[in-house]
Amino acid sequence: MKEEDIRRRINPLFPDAVLHIYGQDCSFELQVISEAFAGQRPLKRQQTILGLFKDDLQSGTLHPLSVKAFTPSEKAALGDGLVRLTL
């Protein structure tokens, strides 16, 4: 599966999403940031995204697929995840 294919599946349901896609071939990690996740539990967010790829996951075309889903404010609170050292 290609990165463009992943974007095409997610964008119709989450047009405001900022997508970060890591990986290649059949193994990907997705970070999806959208206001649409407001009020949803993390499991529901993951199930929604994974449901878009159900057939690919069942057939083995895509495996594994890791999903992290945040609202913009949640992502901002987490920062960029980089560790900065002061020397």
Domains, the chain, ordered by start = 3-78 (3.30.300.90)
Instruction: Give the per-residue pLDDT at 22.
Output: 93
Please, are residues 33 and 49 in contact by the beta-carbon 8 Å criterion? no
What is the arithmetic mean of pLDDT over 15-35?
Answer: 94
| Band of pLDDT at residue 83, cut at 50, 70 and 90 | very low
Instruction: Give the per-residue pLDDT at 42.
Output: 94
Cα dihedral 49, 3, 13, 69, rounded to 10, equals: 40
Reply yes or no on whether the pLDDT at 26 is more than 50: yes
Instruction: Give the per-residue pLDDT at 64.
Output: 86
Instruction: Give the per-residue pLDDT at 79.
Output: 76
Residue from 10, 55, 53 nearest 33 by CA: 10
pTM: 0.84
